[in-house]
Structure 1
Amino acid sequence: MRYSLRERVGKVLLARRPKSLLYAMVVSDMKLVTLVRPRKHSLHPSDLHLLFGMVSSRVFATGEHWTPVCFPRFNDQGFLHVYINYIATGVALVLVSADRDSFFAMTQCREHVCDDLATDDLLQRLADAAAQRALHPRELGVAGLLQLYYRNKTLVQHFGTRFAESVGDAQMRRIINTYKRLRLHMNKGGQKPLRIIYHRSAADTVLAWQSSSFELYAAVDPSMEVKSMIRLVNTVLEWIDKEEDHLFVVSPPSY
């Protein structure tokens, strides 16, 4: 998603924030578009994951919903109240408040947000973004990449491509399982933790790379040599750095 669209949506949420609102977010196809939060506090990724699981449930697919939710990393002894409403196909507006009696304020906020997003076709652009598939590996500007998973440790966000058409179901499962095994090896700890693991079998070639700022897993054409694979991954890292504002929520609006 283009950074300019994220920014405009974030400004709409911030401008329409009622006093009782803690967090406001737009979620498109289980992906975070933007998040409005208090300046000194953000929802922990595990709490966001819990919230996304709710949003994806069919129970919340139609109508307005107002429900108490315990976010363990925010406060495991209490509840916040969550408003969920799909404002376009695949696009949900999620509002979080500490005030259990603020349902009507949240409803009014949603009406204002939808009115503002309707200008300049912002709502339609969000719906179009929700309908898009994940990027194809070739869209990263390299040849021979079958799939890539990248995690930004600083932002605690991740990005992944879909698998190339040449990858069948059995190979897909094998590559995912290889990612899991390599991640376990790298995260065992110790005085000298592994940073790069090159895995090659008769059927698959996978590279796992972990630094202080990112975690990366890449599957490439099995015939690719090590040097070519390293060049490919470096090219991908340059591309991710260039596209960071579009791939991740880098600077969410705060109040």
Structure 2
Amino acid sequence: MSNLEIEPGAAPESVLMTTDILDNLDQMSSSLEEIKSISYVTQEECNEIPNNENFDYSNNDNEVPPTEDDFHLNKEWTSKLKHVFILSMAGKPIYSRYGNEDKLAWLFGVMQTLVSFIQSSDDCIQSMHAGDTHFVFLVKKPLILVAVSKTKESDSQLRYQLNYAFNQITSILTLARLNKIYEQRQNYDLRRLLAGVERLIDHLLTFSENESSVMLGAVQCLPLNASIRDTISSAIVGACSKIKNLVFAILLANNKLITLVRMKKYCLHPADLHLIFNLVQASESLKNSESWTPLCLPKFDASGFLYGHVSYLSEDCQACLLLLTVEKDVFFTLSEAKQKIVEKLRRSNCLEAINESLAAPLESCASAGFTEIRHYLYKCKSTAQFYQPNISPPYTQTKSDLTEIYKRTHHRLHSTSKPLKLLFERNSNEAILAWDTKGFELFVVFEPLVDTSTAIVLVGRLLNWIKKREEKFFHLNAPTF
């Protein structure tokens, strides 16, 4: 590791906000007051938007459709390993991951009673354990979120997932509007405003359970040569630099970031980008036409909307472009800019490069020469980006086992009672090393017979290997309009 002058993936300036997801569930950007001076969408204007009626939140392949027979003794319902419930502070049902909220009204009432009882003692309920079942509560006024889980996820990991669900609701309504609704009517049925949004929440919960990006508080980039990524960024800057009050331009594909161009001084929080990923992945309708939708990014500003022009580049390149602005009447201006971007990318063969990267599987550990390593996660803290190789045997058919290993190890490394900087453990199935440094986090799963000294040597080689390829694996430049 002596050849590393600086950790792989580090850059002088980042397009993403540096964050530690463990400590920043409620942290907001400090730049909001400044950006509001450039005609940011006001709350009064937000109230004129009739619940995003021009946007389709449907088509979630992971959704389990509710049935008329859903109730607390239904075997299909009780067999689920994890339930998530959302209710108002008054106990009004808002969301249930499985089943029908109306048939579970009694259960929502019990949850609200528990929260109120503890609050009457000037305390706040965090969790309860009954055998192998965890009841985790997140009270975020004016809502209460509850996870009932038999999985091996920690309470803190379940709480992150609940926070994401809360952010998903905020992204549709804004926190300001949500608070105003319940200030005026405590018993308001929020489902009237969230019709169809439950599909986004369903998809987001699955995303937060299965994607390492949520656990790490980071984003993975689509591997591209640095020259290609720079050309794509330059094409966006050239087409958009004269458009007033364009805040972010984001190009992504397959839950991976291709490039992010931003207004000077402003960065995007990884949690907000995860919401954008979820929106794109959960909405098949986006592939059919250009869309125009208000979108609140809670970590950027929970009180107002950005307007988003959302479209895929072309029929022969399934990368999605989002142009986010504070202006509500520039759909056609952004549509023209999008066409200019596509023309430039086609002339420079960037569309082909994106397609080739999407079609090519990530390099596996074995093909990279690390036969003793099965898989790893590497996160650069300063840029909030991470890289992982392709999943290979023995986890090809059991990805959930690998996910569980990482969640358990991450929890041990970042335990609130006894945090660790370095962890190495070995069992009959695998050996695991986790390392938390000032600049990066690394989680490595080895073959079970690897000893400590060999693991250290392999980690040094691995970091040097990533360092040599950092321009391909990470978004190192921070282009601005």
Normalised to the residue count of structure 1, the TM-score between the two structures is: 0.93
Report 1:112-127 matches (<5 A): 112-127=340-355
| 1:208 and 1:218 in contact (8 A); partners too | yes
Q: Does 1:4 align with 2:235?
A: no
Shift of 1:143: 2.1
Unaligned segments of structure 2, at least 5 residues = 1-223
Report 1:79-158 matches (<5 A): 79-88=305-314, 89-158=317-386
- Distance in 2 separating the partners of 1:77 and 1:40: 20
SS in 2 for 1:56: helix
Structure 1 stretch 83-92 or stretch 34-43: which is displaced more? 83-92
Q: Does 1:59 align with 2:285?
A: yes
Alpha-carbon RMSD: 1.6
Shift of 1:8: 0.5
Structure 1 stretch 135-144 or stretch 206-215: which is displaced more? 135-144
Task: Indicate which of 217, 222, 232 corresponds to 2:448.
Answer: 222
| Aligned residue type for 1:243 | R
Task: Indicate which of 250, 273, 296 corresponds to 1:25.
Answer: 250
Shift of 1:77: 0.8
SS in 2 for 1:241: helix
| 1:14 and 1:254 in contact (8 A); partners too | yes
Shift of 1:28: 2.3
| Aligned residue type for 2:297 | F
Q: Which has the higher strand share?
A: 1
| Aligned residue type for 1:198 | F
Shift of 1:40: 0.6
Task: Indicate which of 249, 257, 272 corresponds to 1:47.
Answer: 272
| Aligned residue type for 1:14 | V
Q: CA 1:98 to 1:6, structure 2 compared with 1: closer, same or farther past 3 Å?
A: same
- Distance in 2 separating the partners of 1:81 and 1:140: 43
- Distance in 2 separating the partners of 1:140 and 1:213: 24
Shift of 1:247: 0.8
- Distance in 1 separating the partners of 2:249 and 2:468: 28
| 2:252 and 2:320 in contact (8 A); partners too | yes
Normalised to the residue count of structure 2, the TM-score between the two structures is: 0.51
- Name the residue aligned to 2:432: 206
| 1:91 and 1:130 in contact (8 A); partners too | no
Shift of 1:139: 4.0
| Aligned residue type for 1:33 | I
| Aligned residue type for 2:296 | C
- Percent identical among aligned pairs is 27
Rg (Cα) greater in structure:
2
- Distance in 2 separating the partners of 1:210 and 1:233: 13
- Distance in 2 separating the partners of 1:165 and 1:183: 22
- Distance in 2 separating the partners of 1:138 and 1:150: 17
Shift of 1:69: 0.6
Shift of 1:132: 2.3
Q: Does 1:251 align with 2:468?
A: no
- Name the residue aligned to 1:233: 459
